[in-house]
Structure 1
Amino acid sequence: MSCYLVELYTPNATWQALPAAQRQQFLSAIGQGLGQLSSLGIELLSLAPTDAAIAQASPHQFLGIWRFPDPQARDALLAAIEASGWYRYFAHVNAASGTGTVDAHLAALAAA
């Protein structure tokens, strides 16, 4: 069963205070790690700035959307993100789910 992860994040004051060379060094290491994810069946769907012009827009500046073959692959990515030091530099929120259907979702909403 596929599962999904949506990340929302914004650079924090610690990131903004980091010299440009250290930012680049950190991001280079992140880029190298991203290149290894496909071997785990992890599929990157999008890494992009968020659109602030939509109704009810998130205040976060960036988003990542991922698809995984199983929760273990998702948890491996989340562990790697934490180990990288990412959360030290970005205000970050994660949302994860499995694959859902309209009928099951509407039923869950009705029961909430």
Structure 2
Amino acid sequence: MATYTLLEIWKPRPEWYALPNAHKRKFIGKIRETLGTLDQSGAKLLGLWRCRATSEGGWDVMAYWQFPSFQAIEELIDGNEKFGWNRYFDQKNMVGKSITAEEWCSASEIDTEL
């Protein structure tokens, strides 16, 4: 069965820094709740990396996820938008479907899409 990967990079927007600490704590509380429910969908957060000093563009954090379906990724992204993630953080995402090295080699030999 194929798995899907989500690679996120993000950095705070000026709106985050302007937010009072009490509101930041409440917002982070929502993130904790969301993370707690993602296990039920089969999502796994495989790691978080602080990367500000080493990334072009000042990206602050990178997250690496594994999901059982593309729909589960869409649900996470939709949920983030609903509670205002994009208001406070600039984010870029990359999504990929797992393939074997042989699948990639075979497709690349005949110039086809996977």
Report the AA paired with residue 12 of structure 1. R
Q: Secondary structure at the match of 1:30?
A: helix
- Residue deviations 1:9-61, cap 9 Å, x none? 000100010011111110011101110110110111112312634xxx34311
Runs of 4+ in 1 over 6 A off after TM superposition: none
How many aligned positions are there? 108
The secondary structure found in structure 1 opposite 2:47 is strand
Report matched runs for 1:65-80 at 5 Å: 65-80=64-79
Q: 1:58 to 1:96 in 2, by over 3 A?
A: farther
Aligned-residue offset at 1:102: 3.5
Distance 1:26 1:51, change over 3 A: closer
Supply the AA of the counterpart residue of 1:13.
P
Q: Which amino acid aligns with 2:12?
A: P
| Aligned pairs for 1:87-106 within 5 A | 87-103=86-102, 104=104
- Secondary structure in 2 matching 1:100: coil
Identity of aligned residues (%): 30
1:35 partner SS: helix
Aligned-CA RMSD value: 2.3
Partner of 2:18: 17
SS in 1 for 2:91: strand
